[in-house]
Amino acid sequence: MTRPRLVTGARLRYDEVRAEHQMLVPEGVVRLNATAAEVLELCDGERSLDEIVSALSERYGGGDLRGDVVGLVEGLAQRGLVVDAAV
Amino acid sequence: MPPSRPSTLIAELSYQCPLHCPYCSNPLEIGDARYRDELASDDWVRVFEQARALGVLQLALTGGEPMLRRDLPALCAAARDAGLYSSLITAGTLFSDERARALRDAGLDHVQISIQSPDPQENDRIAGNRSFASKIDAARLTRELGFPLTINCVLHRQNLDRIEEILELALTLDAQRLELANTQYYGWAAVNQDALMPTAEQLQRGEEAVQRFRERVGPRVDVLWVLPDLHEDLPKPCMGGWGRTAIVVGPSGDALPCQAATTIPGLELPNVREHSLEWIWTESDAFARFRGTDWMQEPCRSCPLGRQEVDWGGCRCQALRLTGDAAATDPVCRLSPHHDRVVAAREPARTDEFVYRAIRRPARV
């Protein structure tokens, strides 16, 4: 995975009714915790995975978030919900 | 126990359609005056807003053919404003460049196009009109405009042997999803069971082809393969459970827990012209009738498989059709005393001739 982006048609939003972050896709919804939503907001097909990791690490005081970010992105990629913009 | 939040609104905007598919899920009485009295734009806008407030996430704009509604761009804009994720479920024959762009600009999220067969002549014979070429054009246009594309194909004895071609076509058209729904025998499909029922071998080969395709192509195309109930031994949670996740609203505003619920006698359907969607969901008898598990009879009531909250008793319309009692256990269940009727219904089709969906009720019913 070089430059992750959300699959075509995906929309991130906060659902006021259920008080949760969501990724809406054709005929489906992925419920997200606040951190996952932050990661996916950076998956714009422009930033590299490394850039996403450092942006978040900086935001959270320098901790290494690489494992968490890669785990989330790869997991969603296996379900076809995140794709590589570089391919 | 208060009802869960619904996640899906199925808006059947119109039962008019240029196609005549013999397995259409619309009621047989689509020609009745009550279905021609279609809701106004304002009614739908109100329903979309009420749906979102109830918790609905996904909106299916369907029919009949939803493109026959001239106000479709306004309805898509209203869906976007309300915060719903909108899908257009269309035959594709009216999906012109100009109209498709208007829908995109209005905020439509996703387009789903039906094909009847990957073979042009066979497609047109099953659909009862010449439509294959325009469907392919519509699918290409969908991708050109940047929409995610779903292809759906209802499977039956007369097209199941082309499953590999269907899978390849979806890949060629750059579909993100492919819905392979084996025919369920309600509405027009029940009338045409003799022409549609596949053999067990066809279903087996179909499932293997899907498996091979998934292994080869990976997550790029999400293939849904839904076996027909009648070939199973345990029921599915029809509509995710009665009054549990979905609301169907018909062209004239009748609200139903599933598309086939009009067949259930004595079920008074609340109408969105008279009631709020919240009242319909939380207060109406129609949505409470088979909700949860309290209504269940034996063998569901003491289910030895612990499946009460897995399949929610299966399908009420199927129970009615095959046992005469809408509150009976879905006879698909091998524990149902009527399961032999399901086994008998697996008899493969004997004719190629269809009774086509038409606004006039067929004489054979």
pLDDT in tens, chain B (365 residues): 668 999 999 999 999 999 999 999 999 999 888 888 999 999 999 999 999 999 999 999 999 999 999 999 999 999 999 999 999 999 999 999 999 999 999 999 999 999 999 999 999 999 999 999 999 999 999 999 999 999 999 999 999 999 999 999 999 999 999 999 999 888 899 999 999 999 999 999 999 999 999 999 999 999 999 888 888 999 999 999 999 999 999 999 999 999 889 889 999 999 999 999 999 999 999 999 999 999 999 999 999 999 999 999 999 999 999 999 999 999 999 999 999 999 998 888 788 899 999 886 554 44
Specify the DSSP class assigned to residue B4. Answer: P
Beta-bridged to residue B14, according to DSSP, are B63
Break chain A into its structural domains and give their ranges: 4-79
pLDDT at position B360: 67
Strand duo A82-84 + A28-32: pairing = unpaired
- Best of B5, B85, B149 to mutate (most A CBs within 10 Å, chain A): B85
CB contact under 8 A, B219 and A17: no
pLDDT at position B136: 98
* pTM (global) more than 0.90: yes
Contact B14/B249 with Cβ under 8 angstroms? no
| Spatial CB neighbours of B73, under 8 Å, sequence gap ≥ 6 | B99, B102, B103, B105, B106
B55 to chain A, any CB pair closer than 8 A? The answer is: yes
CA angle centred on B10, ends B115 and A5, rounded to 5° = 70
Sheet of strand B149-155, all strands in order from the earlier edge strand to the far edge: B222-226, B177-182, B149-155, B110-114, B85-90, B58-63, B8-14, B246-249, B255-256
A2: part of which helix (H) or strand (E)?
A: none
pLDDT at position B186: 86
CB contact under 8 A, A15 and B57: yes
Interface of A with B in 39-78 (CB under 8 A): 77-78
A27 to chain B, any CB pair closer than 8 A? The answer is: yes
Span A4-79 CATH architecture: Orthogonal Bundle (1.10)
Q: Which residues of chain A does B7 touch, with a Cβ-Cβ cutoff of 8 Å?
A: 29
CB contact under 8 A, B85 and A11: yes
Angular region, A80: left φ>0, alpha ψ -120 to 50, beta rest: left
Of the partner residues B87, B148, B218, the one whose CB lies closest to the CB of residue A8? B148
pLDDT at position B34: 86
Contact A77/A56 with Cβ under 8 angstroms? no
A24 to chain B, any CB pair closer than 8 A? The answer is: yes
pLDDT reading at A52 higher than 80: yes
Q: Which residues of chain B does A78 touch, with a Cβ-Cβ cutoff of 8 Å?
A: 219
- At A30, is the pLDDT very low, low, confident or very high (cuts 50, 70, 90)? very high
B305: part of which helix (H) or strand (E)?
A: none
Which whole number is the average pLDDT over A77-85? 95
**How far from the centroid of its chain's Cα atoms is residue B34's Cα?**
21
Residue B264, token pair as written in the block: 């259930």
B213 to chain A, any CB pair closer than 8 A? The answer is: no
CB contact under 8 A, B176 and A9: yes
What span, in angstroms and rounded, lies between the C-alpha atoms of A32 and A20?
Answer: 7
pLDDT at position B365: 40
B109 to chain A, any CB pair closer than 8 A? The answer is: yes
- Best of A1, A15, A20, A25 to mutate (most B CBs within 10 Å, chain B): A25
Give the DSSP letter string of A12-80.
EEEETTTTEEEEEETTEEEEE-HHHHHHHHH-BSSS-HHHHHHHHHHHTTT---HHHHHHHHHHHHHTT
Contact B20/B131 with Cβ under 8 angstroms? no
- Alpha carbon distances (Å) from B237 to A57, B36, B264, B291, B312: 44, 31, 18, 12, 6
Of the partner residues B55, B57, B220, the one whose CB lies closest to the CB of residue A24? B57
CA angle centred on B234, ends B290 and B162, rounded to 5° = 110
What span, in angstroms and rounded, lies between the C-alpha atoms of B199 and B133?
Answer: 29
CB contact under 8 A, B220 and A11: no
Find where tokens 């032999």 sit: B340
Beta-bridged to residue A13, according to DSSP, are A22
Between residues A65 and B55, the one the model is more confident about: B55
Helices A66-78 & A49-59 angle (0-180, nearest 10): 130
Q: Which residues of chain B does A79 touch, with a Cβ-Cβ cutoff of 8 Å?
A: 219
A31 to chain B, any CB pair closer than 8 A? The answer is: no
A11 to chain B, any CB pair closer than 8 A? The answer is: yes
B57 to chain A, any CB pair closer than 8 A? The answer is: yes
pLDDT at position B3: 81
